[in-house]
Homo-oligomer: A and B are copies of this chain.
């Protein structure tokens, strides 16, 4: 697999520099280029900081801006950012109301964000949210093992809107904890991931195979099964998702179809159509929708479905204005 790059050592820095330059109205590099932050920080609100390995673009850098993240720290491809980067982001964005770190549930990320939080705790009020939206592979309750995948940006959008509206650190944490049980994602891959350093695919699928329950780091999923028609794939995915979600509480449902990087947008909309029809046949109405390539695994072909059960208050947070490189709506 060919990649559009110069050298694997510099591709993250070059790509980030491109994003910052293309969206200079919204974002800028923080101290020493260690992170990307909102160009206009707003004192008096909780600062939201996220980050993780590169290779998931546009997450997280594409979601820095008004109504969402204040800063994003990017590591090398599939490698956690360092505590040093995270501390720099905390120092620069804390406007006096403390910082909320939004972390996807991977050992490296959790460890480095934790270390940064500990080291910065003497000077800053810090809380951490670990996102775990992946459908449980075992159907068991080992929820600490769930990975943070595409649902992460739903968490970032909702908390971002709440922080913008003046919510304090404790209230944001309570909402985040509550959301963790109400957002579920499942992914399928039609073609593996090519890692720039090796230029090799992490797993190879034949013409009639797909990988079910994949994450976003090229790791294999829970099963390799026969490739099928879109409706059939969607039905299987939704079944897993719905059976793993907390029971409804008079909510509005958000349906989010996410492309992994190598999937054409027309196929994402086809999947959305299929998923919406399937939910409808189950008597479930879609209240909000998102379709696009937002949380990727380099060039992997495939997609994930995220279902979020949102209450009235969270639907308002979803609808609240957002102004980032990728998500942009409202006044």
Contacts and interface: CB of A to CB of B under 8 A. Distances in A.
Interface of A: 1-7, 11-12, 14-19, 21-23, 54-55, 57-58, 62, 190-191, 207, 210, 227, 229-231, 233, 261-274, 276, 289-291, 293, 296, 298-299, 301, 303, 328-329, 331
> Which 10 pairs, one residue from A and one from B, show the smallest C-beta to C-beta distance?
A18-B273, A18-B269, A4-B267, A57-B266, A18-B272, A22-B289, A15-B270, A2-B190, A261-B264, A15-B266
Contacts of A57: 264-266, 269
Contact of A331 (B19, B263, B331): B331
Contacts of A233: 4
Query: Of A2, A271, A293, which is in contact with the most chain B CB atoms at under 10 Å from its CB?
Result: A2
A299 B262 contact: yes
Contact of A273 (B3, B17, B269, B270): B17
Nearest to A209: B2
17 contacts: A2-B301, A4-B230, A4-B270, A11-B266, A15-B267, A18-B271, A18-B273, A18-B274, A22-B290, A54-B266, A55-B266, A57-B266, A62-B265, A264-B299, A265-B296, A266-B298, A299-B301
A116 B171 CA distance: 59
